[in-house]
Chain A
């Protein structure tokens, strides 16, 4: 278990790489070769992450005595006496095969403390690492995506005049994120959180010569600062309540006696929720995320798909007992977190319809999917959320890198109106994009299907109560996601090429990462398959791996968290919604734009005609009048129905989705929210301006103010006290 105890190496390596690139890169290695250092470092941490992941699975499978937590699974919560054993049947069955029975013992995280960092006024503060299943999962995700982005970027930002700066910041960003995920205490968590924010500031503003980019960078940073107030206050409340900074300590304390600190936890959870909203792009602090697409596309893939924006989700998962208790997730059927998540998911999906910029569609899609994860956490589906985080990272990174590849080909535009028909120019990009789209839409058997299904199931079953509203939101989003992604595929890859110049396929160094990610988008779901799916193959033992390994049941079982049984009907509903989303969009675009549309549409008419014509043949000889009288209205009716009802319905659905998306974008997103943020800023500005008049420049006015204030204060105090 060496790697788990020495996990500090993992963030240290990219941090060193950052320093080396920044200070020695240009001089000793050559500005155009600095990527070698970055890629070497990230490869190294990728391997180390895999080692850590492997060692963690070993710890779970064959726990040594010191790895088993002392508290027993059924020590708390009378109504949840069987929590520890509440895993799906298949996982239970597999226990005998593993001897130990991993789901009934609680594996404690590896908490390593290196040294006392500072000690002040009776508060000791240690620095260290906290490694458990969740950590190693994030390590693997971050390292993998970062590695692929590093490789992909060698081509994408080739020749950029801040190539060195770019790679340095990629390394630093990776280091910050890794530092963040293995934080041992909430202070480290805050430090990591801020570092991640600073790095994203640097990367979003990478091309700072253009004003929108710098505005976007500033907006991202400022919005995040708003959330940071919540983070600070929340963390201080937690520290004040439990008297410890240690994440392990806080979680264990809540888990040991749930419900005793409900009010404090409610306050803390609400404050932290604000932080999550800013970092993970949740309503109403999501507006920075689409603007932040101004950065280089690989960075968008790294920051806005896979790593930084999931920081908020990760923090909820990390401090889940706080939220679980604070928001009463176990007993309610609606709560702030689920509502924010669900609403964000819905809103993001709606907004994605209205965008012409391919990256912005993906950005809103990210907002929507993050909302999904937050909603899942809000309904108590911890594993589902983290599993979705895992699968989403791969297919969303694939989509972003695909978009980058498209833009690389199509003269650096992201406007979908200037694309189209790229399928034949760049088949590699096209197919990987389609695979990722299917995964995102939740089509069987791609990765997204499995994770989305679990979220919907989690919302339906909930904990003690179901979350019906969240289920409706989830279903609507499943439908809309499939629809807008199909739209993107249509505009980008099908139809006629609307841009100018000659698009071309990207070089191998870009397509290979795409294929790797696409591969993960296909098989990613295998990591948490439900038992019944594997039963026919005799592989039940491999079911629910994410749940088994990643879930910190040592904290969660005390809260009484339960897992729903897999449900075939729910899976079919989810799949049906996704498919219908694709089909409706397909019909819509095909009818509106496709040259094959006319023939296809006439087939219904033709079928009616043929049918009627046959009938007509049969009765031709002796029923001419009847046939003649019937034929025309029915044919007309069928035609009318086809033209007016079916087409209109499809048209209206599409148009209204688009229009409402536009409307929301224009008035709510850009108008109300941005407007209110701007108004607040203007208000502060204006009051600053007003206050400046005090500063008249005349020294006697200053004296009058000084003495006047003194006199007023004196009078008030004398009277009041």
Chain B
């Protein structure tokens, strides 16, 4: 029973994250939303690890946390670059290339 609640929490978080990625215009908010999605995965991983009574779920979650930190670092750097060059971090503003 407990497991399902974690999974539902994970799914809801994931969906909020997806919504944020697809709908928010501010690049930083998009990054945050991605973090939400990753954390949804972490919850799932830990919950499943608990269910199966193996440690690999937690280990996976640790890896995800570590990698997400690196990812966000790079992401913020790119956003900073954009802000410096174009004084905007609205993701809608970047459509120079299309078609």
In the complex, A touching B, CB below 8 Å?
yes
Task: Confirm or deny: A99 has a beta carbon within 8 angstroms of a beta carbon on chain B.
Answer: no
Return the chain A residue nearest B30 by Cβ: A700
Contact A700 B97 (CB under 8 A): no
Task: Confirm or deny: A703 has a beta carbon within 8 angstroms of a beta carbon on chain B.
Answer: yes
Contact B99 A695 (CB under 8 A): yes
Which residues on the A side are within 8 Å of B22 (C-beta)?
Answer: 700, 703-704, 707
Task: Confirm or deny: A698 has a beta carbon within 8 angstroms of a beta carbon on chain B.
Answer: yes
Q: Which of A666-721 contact B (CB under 8 A)?
A: 692-693, 695-700, 703-704, 707
Task: Confirm or deny: B96 has a beta carbon within 8 angstroms of a beta carbon on chain A.
Answer: yes
Which residues on the A side are within 8 Å of B25 (C-beta)?
Answer: 700
Q: A704-B22, A707-B18, A707-B22 are in contact. Are A697 and B96 (CB under 8 A)?
A: yes
CA distance A692 to B98 in the complex (A): 8
**The one of B18, B94, B99 that contacts A699, using a Cβ cutoff of 8 Å:** B94
Task: Confirm or deny: B81 has a beta carbon within 8 angstroms of a beta carbon on chain A.
Answer: no
CA distance A337 to B94 in the complex (A): 58
Write out, one digit per residue, whether chain A residues 466-493 have a CB within 8 A of any chain B CB (1) or not (0): 0000000000000000000000000000
Return the chain B residue nearest A708 by Cβ: B22
CA distance A707 to B23 in the complex (A): 12
Contact B98 A697 (CB under 8 A): yes
Which residues on the B side are within 8 Å of A698 (C-beta)?
Answer: 91-92, 94-95, 98
Which residues on the A side are within 8 Å of B99 (C-beta)?
Answer: 692-693, 695, 697
Task: Confirm or deny: B21 has a beta carbon within 8 angstroms of a beta carbon on chain A.
Answer: yes
CA distance A707 to B94 in the complex (A): 20
Which residues on the B side are within 8 Å of A700 (C-beta)?
Answer: 21-23, 25, 91-92
Interface size class of A (residues with CB under 8 A): 10 to 19
Which residues on the A side are within 8 Å of B91 (C-beta)?
Answer: 698-700
Closest Cβ–Cβ distance, residue A378 to chain B (whole Å): 49
Contact B98 A696 (CB under 8 A): yes
Contact B95 A703 (CB under 8 A): no
CA distance A346 to B25 in the complex (A): 68
**The one of B23, B95, B96 that contacts A696, using a Cβ cutoff of 8 Å:** B95
Contact A697 B18 (CB under 8 A): no
Which residues on the B side are within 8 Å of A704 (C-beta)?
Answer: 22
Which residues on the A side are within 8 Å of B96 (C-beta)?
Answer: 697
CA distance A699 to B78 in the complex (A): 14
Which residues on the B side are within 8 Å of A697 (C-beta)?
Answer: 94-99
Which residues on the A side are within 8 Å of B92 (C-beta)?
Answer: 698, 700
CA distance A692 to B92 in the complex (A): 18
Q: A700-B23, A700-B92 are in contact. Are A695 and B98 (CB under 8 A)?
A: yes
Return the chain A residue nearest B18 by Cβ: A707
Closest Cβ–Cβ distance, residue B97 to chain A (whole Å): 6
Contact B98 A703 (CB under 8 A): no
Return the chain A residue nearest B95 by Cβ: A697
Q: Which of B46-99 contact A (CB under 8 A)?
A: 91-92, 94-99
CA distance A698 to B96 in the complex (A): 9
Closest Cβ–Cβ distance, residue B36 to chain A (whole Å): 14
Contact A703 B21 (CB under 8 A): yes
Which residues on the A side are within 8 Å of B94 (C-beta)?
Answer: 697-699
Since A697-B96, A698-B95 are in contact, a sample of 6 more A-B pairs with Cβ atoms closer than 8 Å, ordered by chain A residue number, is A696-B95, A697-B94, A697-B95, A699-B94, A700-B91, A700-B92
14 A-B residue pairs with Cβ-Cβ distance under 8 Å, sorted by A, are A692-B99, A693-B99, A695-B98, A696-B98, A697-B94, A697-B95, A697-B98, A697-B99, A698-B91, A698-B98, A700-B21, A704-B22, A707-B18, A707-B22
